[in-house]
Structure formats: structure tokens, C-alpha cells
Structure 1
């Protein structure tokens, strides 16, 4: 089961929360009763009961039976299950287990066509705008740093406020916006995505929500697990996604990228006595 199940469905905010939760749970959803699921999400039992019929199932039992039939018990899933059961008194072991889990969840939701579309949009863009508010600022800086080395024209957008309006003036059809959208769609994100859509400008959102308002506004969604709302939010999977994009873009523009990196090396050698590394 993945996000394709919920595409073209007119879900309410509570239904989107349910859809996002059960998709992230994977096999774990089989251990829940409907009452437990409703309680964990703080959503009424009636809303949860109606949800199954809305997405094409008779009830929760029907959904779980269908899930069991389609479930793929892969080596990756087995490893993930084993790691979740490991207990350790050392924090590095616990963090390793959590990181593996987030990477496995991310790979389970990976859609090659979306990733390829995102890479091609970046490669073809006249200007790449990056919006990385809050805890995603470091991810935006990493993307900016690496792609700038390849010779791309990068603009980092302001985090909030009326400064955002000034940047909208420069958006064009030939550009792309790469946005980090974690937890929920903020007003600034909505303004940027709506304006990009109006211009026919490509938008890419890297998000930890499989089903959310981002689905309606963004052209391309790339999922990266960070944990549930009540868990410590890890940046392992989003960093993995960014580094994968960087490598893929580098391969697509190998000649240009290598030329720029060779120029950088030559400049460093020329001024190494004045600005030693």
C-alpha cells in the first residue's frame, strides 16, 4: 500500500492524517485495532470507520486483509523488523536502528519516475529557488553548496515575511523551486507553490508527509521519513534524498559539472599562498 491509493481522493484534514499514518506504519498497522488507531491519532472512531469506505474498503478488517495479500516480505523489511526489536543501553546503537528504519521507510515509498522527473526539472531550470525554513535550513544549504559548484544558478528564498513577495517577481516558467515541507503546509509555502503553479513553474517538495495538502499544490513530491509527530525528528533520510539528487544531477550534467570543479581546483592552486585551505 502506498500513496497511489489516496491519489484523486478528496480527503478531509483528518482523513489525510489517517492516510499518512497508516502508510508510514507499513506492516505495523496490522497490529492495531480500529479503536487503538483512532486513539493514537486523536481522531474519532466514527471518522476512522468512514475512512475505510471512502478509500474503497468495507472496513478496517478488509483493509488489513488486502494489505496482507499485497505485502512483500523483502530482506529490507526483515532487517527493519529485526532492528526495531533490538534493545541497547548505548545511544549510538539506538540511533543506528532508528536511522535504518527511516531509510527503509523512505525506500519503501520511493517512486523512480518522481525522482527522475525532479532531477530533470533541476537540470533544465534556468534558476533553482530553494526554500528551506526552520530545521531544513541545513539541507537547503547543502543543496545550494553542491549545485552551485556544478555551475547552476541558485537563489535561496527568505524564510518568511514580506520579503517573499519580492522574490515572486522573479519567478518564471523556466525556473524550478525546491522546497522542504515537513509536518504541515505553512502559509509561506502555500503562497510560493500557488504562485509557481500559476506561472507553470515546476515545484519539487521534499516532505515527511505522504498524504497532505502538498499533494494538491506541488508538481513532484519526494518522501523522506523523519518519524512521527511525537518522535525525535531525524534528518538522516532527508539528507539521503538530497545527496541522491546531487549525485543524479551531477551525472546528468557530467561535462559541465566536471569543468566547473576543475576550474575550482585551478583557482585554489593559483591563490593557495594567499588563502591556504
Structure 2
């Protein structure tokens, strides 16, 4: 699922007809999206120094029906660029108690799970599981918060005797860690890190070697999509809970369960053997 570009398109189309004041307001929105996306009309007028009638003229010129539609467009476009701290600050202005926080978080994550069902189907999980089982080695890359699902998968896949290799956080040594990748290997990329250069470098490396590449992301960059064999859109939490990794972690667990189902008796035998060996493993020194 691609990034929503409605705000950028409408602004670009209306730009030649905007007055100096309207251009100043557009600059304010693009500089402070974390405020413009959440404030009331009165608040954004006070903060920007632009009168409410001028702001109304502005969003109508961009063909937004109302102020809420205008704010929603900003939220969607700047979803991955709004500062985490600012987003959290806005959240806690709305939520006053831990009960409200719990209810809001559960509601948002539930909606996210339903969106996941719309974006990823059983055939997709089957394809990922098949790619993992067929690969000679599985390399996992996830800088930033993407490290959590990447690390989780790298640990758990070893239970099925799958050669899983986690590419570390140390980006200075990424090339050395990528160097062993061969044509018969699989590269899984978790893209939850701002910017695309590091992902482009890693995925280009895999593409040059002609290994299979799967990207799991919450923001689709056209250059990266062209490098991947499959791209799966797995969002994080709603904008006010944008740091939540519940959904990507759930998806990582679904991948593991899909591998177990696809591997059937073989994988089941590995798990039983691992449990027997674990019982005799002496951890007394710890």
C-alpha cells in the first residue's frame, strides 16, 4: 500500500494560484505537520499567525471539503515524519487516565489488525513460508525499530534448523555481513527506519546477486519496491501511537506459524527434538 500523497498533489496543483499569505500558511504546515495535523482551526490560526478566514480560503482552494478533511490529509502524508515525542505529547493532551490510555491503545491496535487482514492474505503467508523453507540461508535486516521483528525471526527460525542470519545494528559493517549472501538465499527486510538510502544499498546488493528479497514496510518507496520480489504493507500503530510495533511483531509471529504449518512433520520433529535437548541443557551457571 503506497504512501498517501493527496496533500502533496493538491498543494502542488494549487501552488500557482496561492496568495503570499496562503504560501506562508503552506510553509507553516510543511514545517510543523506534527502541530497542524492535530490542532483545532482556532489553535492553528493562533500558532501560524494566519487568520481563520484565510485558512478556510486556503483549504477550500485545495478542494478540501472541511478543516477535518484537510487535517486528515496532513496526517496521512506526514505519518512517518511526525516526531515521536510530539505525537506522544498530543496523545497525552487527549488522554488523562491510564484507563483511557489502555482503551485507546487496544482500540487502535485492533483496528490495525483488521487492516493487516485486508492487506495480507493466506496466500501471502504461504509464499513467505515457502521462500524461507526453500532458501539455503535467510538474512534479516531491520535497522531502528525494525530490528525487533528481524531479531525475533532470526532467533526463532533457528528452531526449525533454518540458517538465519541477523544483520546487526552496526551499519558500518553491513557490507561485511551481507557479503556471504548467495543466489539461493533469501533477504527479508523490515523497513521501519526513516530514509531509504541504507535500504537501497542493502537491497541493491541482494538484487545484484539475484537472491530473493521480501520487504515488510509501513511506507512504500518506489525505488525500493522495484528491488523487492514481494512487498508487504504492515503498518505500525495509528499516528498517535506510531511507535507501536505490535502489528509488525504479530506479523513476524504469523510468519513463524506459517513456516511450521508448511514444514509439517519435518518442522514438528525439529521442535520435539529441541525440547528434549533443552531439558538436558545445563544452565546452572546462570
User: Which position in structure 1 is the counterpart of 2:43?
Assistant: none
Give the drift of 1:275: 3.9
User: Which position in structure 1 is the counterpart of 2:225?
Assistant: 215
Q: Structure 2: which 5+ residue stretches go unaligned?
A: 10-63, 79-94
Q: 1:269 to 1:240 in 2, by over 3 A?
A: closer
Of the three residues 201, 205, 216, the one matched with 2:215 is 205
User: Which position in structure 2 is the counterpart of 1:156?
Assistant: 166
Query: Is 1:254 aligned with 2:264?
Result: yes
Q: 1:155 to 1:30 in 2, by over 3 A?
A: farther
Q: 1:268 to 1:158 in 2, by over 3 A?
A: closer
Normalised TM-score (structure 1): 0.65
Query: Is 1:235 aligned with 2:225?
Result: no
Q: 1:42 to 1:186 in 2, by over 3 A?
A: closer
Q: 1:38 to 1:139 in 2, by over 3 A?
A: closer
User: Which position in structure 2 is the counterpart of 1:127?
Assistant: 137
User: Which position in structure 2 is the counterpart of 1:168?
Assistant: 178
Query: What is the root-mean-square deviation of aligned Cα atoms in Å?
Result: 3.5
1:211-266 deviations in whole A, cap 9, x for unaligned?
A: 65432221111221214566432111111111110000111112232222222222
Conserved? CA contact 2:126–2:262, under 8 Å: no
Normalised TM-score (structure 2): 0.63
Q: 1:31 to 1:175 in 2, by over 3 A?
A: farther
Decide which structure has the larger Cα Rg and report it. Answer: 2
Secondary structure (helix, strand or coil) at the match of 1:178 reads: strand
In 1, the alpha carbon distance for the partners of 2:246 and 2:152 equals 13
Secondary structure (helix, strand or coil) at the match of 1:217 reads: coil
Q: 1:42 to 1:275 in 2, by over 3 A?
A: closer
Secondary structure (helix, strand or coil) at the match of 2:152 reads: helix
User: Which position in structure 1 is the counterpart of 2:279?
Assistant: 269
Q: 1:32 to 1:225 in 2, by over 3 A?
A: farther
Secondary structure (helix, strand or coil) at the match of 1:253 reads: helix
